């Protein structure tokens, strides 16, 4: 099935129209007409070849909301016409210990989970993501959307920014009585603020952008610290149970590690293309602090997060764009100038000549 898409042909060429060939739905597959796709900073890292092992042409996009247009004979959960979603994964082995625990993102079989884009399959071919008119995905990796129809564009970012912040917030048991920091108020960070607040934690936003102060309070922060202000940072020394670090660029981690309580944890989800300066080990030793990482989230917890958000009226704050404006969106993302997630209206791709 020939499907309209947008692809980067190399790290240095702008995204441009491209046709992908989607497979005919097999017995366990769901064919999806894509309505909206969020724009994650990982899309930009990938399109520009900032991470190792990027395959070209590259069709990014892993925050997908759409409508099921066909289902295979063995599909039981999804019906034609359902509003569905696809996040960062489209397959995994289903048999290893991590898959067995519902943590498919840590699939232990070679080559690991199959990413929605740039997910090399066993045969070596590439996967193409959500900057496209349609996609075909195994039912196991298709989520059900329970939000109202008017919210569907703003639901799309939950499929990566939402789950990537939800999973560590739950893993480290944030909630009432816990003091939680969120570093970097972009796509991930703004969802981190909303979710940590909804889980009942005391939330502090750390930003490099003074201009985001008022927004961060509205998004769920109880307090905002501009991280360049050393005195404001020092006022929080030794006080956090948990810090979620979403920053997409290398920076000084010690400034945040020093803010953790004894046994506190800072989890890194930001994935810059060059390493952070090594933190001072004494910040970890003195206080038995932990520096951790986390990768997206499993399918079961993604559905749990979507349902939690539907119940609590949580969606992303978005700016809708046309597919044709993706390069301008990337340029603004590089300036931390996104309020707070771009979402592509896929009608603009379908209608293009």
Residue ranges in contact with ligand NAP by CB under 6 A:
40-42, 45, 160-161, 164, 184-189, 207-209, 212, 246-249, 251, 269-272, 294-296, 333, 336, 338
Q: With contacts defined by CB under 5 A, name the span among 35-43, 227-235, 328-336, 340-348 that binds Zn ion.
A: 35-43
Taking the least distance from each CB to ligand NAP, the nearer of 51 and 282 is 51
65-87 CB burial, b ≥16 within 10 A, e <16: bbbbebbbeebeebeeebbbbbb
Query: Of 40 and 306, which has the nearer Cβ to Zn ion?
Result: 40
For residues 5 and 23, give the distance between their C-alpha atoms in angstroms, rounded to a whole number.
15
Closest-CB residue for ligand NAP? Answer: 186
Q: Does 271 bind Zn ion (CB under 5 A)?
A: no
Beta partners for residue 286, in sequence order? none
Smallest distance, Zn ion to C-beta of residue 160, A? 3
Among 92, 227, 246, 302, binds Zn ion (CB under 5 A): 92
Which residues neighbour 332 within 8 Å (Cβ) at sequence distance 6 or greater? 338, 342
CA distance 206 to 284: 20
Is residue 114 within the footprint of Zn ion (CB under 5 A)?
no
**152 contacts 145 by C-beta, under 8 angstroms:** yes
Dist. CA 185–CA 203, nearest whole Å: 13
Residue 246 interacts, among ligand NAP, Zn ion, none and using kind-specific CB cut-offs from 5 to 8 Å, with: ligand NAP
Q: Report yes or no: 133 and 34 within 8 Å, Cβ to Cβ.
A: yes
Cβ 116 to Zn ion, closest distance in Å? Answer: 9
Place of tokens 């997060």: 305
Q: How is residue 252 annotated by DSSP?
A: -
Pick what 167 binds: Zn ion, ligand NAP, none; C-beta below 5 to 8 Å, kind-dependent.
Answer: none
Counting contacts by CB under 5 A, is residue 347 touching Zn ion? Answer: no
CB of 238 to ligand NAP, least distance (A): 22
40 vs 309 by CB, closer to ligand NAP: 40
Q: Between 55 and 96, whose beta carbon lies closer to Zn ion? A: 96
Q: In 279-343, which residue ranges form alpha helices assigned H by DSSP?
A: 282-285, 299-312, 326-334
Which of 40, 145, 221, 260 lies at the binding interface for Zn ion (CB under 5 A)? 40
Would you say 264 or 270 has its CB closer to ligand NAP?
270
Rg of the chain (C-alpha set) = 20
Stretch that binds Zn ion, among 157-165, 192-200, 225-233, 332-340 (CB under 5 A): 157-165
CB of 129 to ligand NAP, least distance (A): 13
Give a three-class secondary structure readout of 108-131. Answer: CCCCCCEECCCCCCCCCCCCCCCC
> What does the binding site for Zn ion look like in residue numbers (CB under 5 A)?
40, 42, 92-93, 96, 99, 107, 109, 160
């Amino acid at each position: 099935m020939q499907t309209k898409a947008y692809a980067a042909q190399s790290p240095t060429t702008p995204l441009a129209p491209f046709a992908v060939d989607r497979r005919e739905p097999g017995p366990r597959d769901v064919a999806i007409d894509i309505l909206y796709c969020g724009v994650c900073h990982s899309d930009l890292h990938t399109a520009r070849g900032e991470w190792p092992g990027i395959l070209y042409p590259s069709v990014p996009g892993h925050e997908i909301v759409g409508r099921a247009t066909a289902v295979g004979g063995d599909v039981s959960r999804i019906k034609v016409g359902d509003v569905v979603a696809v996040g960062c994964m489209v397959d995994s082995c289903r048999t290893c210990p991590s898959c067995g625990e519902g943590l498919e993102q840590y699939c232990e079989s070679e080559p690991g989970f199959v990413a929605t884009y740039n997910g090399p399959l066993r045969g070596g071919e590439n996967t193409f993501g959500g900057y496209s008119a349609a996609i075909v995905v195994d039912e196991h990796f298709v989520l059900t959307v329970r939000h109202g129809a008017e919210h569907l564009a703003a639901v799309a970012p939950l499929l990566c920014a939402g789950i990537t912040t939800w999973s560590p917030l739950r893993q480290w048991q944030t909630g009432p009585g816990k003091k939680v920091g969120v570093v970097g108020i972009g796509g991930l960070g703004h969802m981190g603020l909303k979710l940590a607040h909804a889980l009942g934690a005391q939330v502090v936003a750390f930003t490099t952008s003074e201009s985001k102060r008022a927004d961060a309070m509205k998004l769920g922060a109880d307090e905002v610290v501009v991280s360049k202000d050393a005195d404001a940072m020092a006022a929080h020394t030794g006080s956090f149970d948990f810090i979620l670090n979403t920053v997409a660029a290398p920076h000084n981690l010690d400034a945040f590690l020093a803010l953790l309580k004894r046994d506190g944890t800072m989890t890194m989800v930001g994935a810059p293309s060059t390493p952070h300066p090594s933190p001072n080990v004494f910040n970890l030793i003195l206080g038995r602090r932990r520096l951790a990482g986390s990768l997206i989230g499993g399918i079961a917890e993604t559905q749990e997060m979507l349902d939690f958000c539907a119940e609590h009226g949580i969606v992303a704050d978005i700016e809708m764009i046309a597919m044709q404006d993706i390069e301008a969106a990337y340029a603004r993302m590089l300036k931390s100038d996104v309020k707070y997630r771009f979402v592509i209206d896929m009608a603009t791709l379908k209608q293009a000549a």
